[in-house]
Chain A
Amino acid sequence: MSDKENTPRPGLLRRLWRAFWSPSGVLSTGFLLIAGFICGILFWGGFHWSLELTNTEEFCTSCHTMETNLGEYRETVHYNNHSGVRAICSDCHVPHEWQYKMKAKIMAVKDVYHEVLGTISTPEKYEERRLEMAAAVWKKMKASDSRECRNCHAFEYMDFTIQETRAADNHQRAIDEGMTCIDCHQGIAHDLPPGYLEEYEHVVEELAGEVRYRGEEDLAGIRSYLGTAAD
Chain B
Amino acid sequence: MLNILDLLGTIGGSILGLPGILGTGLGMMTRNWFVAAGLGGLIGLLSPMVLGGSHSTHVPITLTEYAVSISVGIIAGLLGCAIRHKGATV
Interface residues, chain A, with chain B CB atoms under 8 Å away: 21, 23, 95-104, 106-107, 110, 136, 139, 143-147, 150-151, 154, 211, 213
Contacts and interface: CB of A to CB of B under 8 A. Distances in A.
A107 B6 contact: yes
Contacts, number: 64
Given A103-B12, A106-B9, A145-B59, 19 more contacts: A96-B54, A99-B14, A99-B16, A99-B17, A99-B52, A100-B54, A102-B12, A102-B16, A102-B17, A106-B13, A107-B6, A107-B8, A107-B9, A139-B2, A147-B54, A150-B54, A150-B57, A154-B56, A211-B62
B56 A136 contact: no
Interface in B55-83: 56-60, 62
B70 to A, nearest CB: 14
Secondary structure dominating the interface of A: helix
A151 B54 CA distance: 9
Contacts of B87: 21
The 9 A-B pairs with the shortest beta carbon distances in the complex, nearest first, are A103-B9, A99-B13, A145-B57, A150-B56, A103-B13, A102-B13, A106-B12, A99-B17, A106-B9
A147 B56 CA distance: 7
Contact of A98 (B6, B51, B59, B89): B51
A101 B14 CA distance: 11
Contacts of B47: 99
A77 B86 CA distance: 58
B16 A110 contact: no
A30 B29 CA distance: 18
Between B9, B12, B51, B62, the greatest number of chain A beta carbons within 10 A of the residue's beta carbon is seen for B9
Between A101, A139, A147, the greatest number of chain B beta carbons within 10 A of the residue's beta carbon is seen for A147
Contacts of B9: 102-104, 106-107
Given A97-B51, A139-B2, A103 B10 contact: yes
Contacts of B89: 23
Given A21-B87, A136-B2, A211-B62, A144 B10 contact: no
Contacts of A99: 13-14, 16-17, 47, 51-52
A21 B83 CA distance: 9
A218 to B, nearest CB: 13
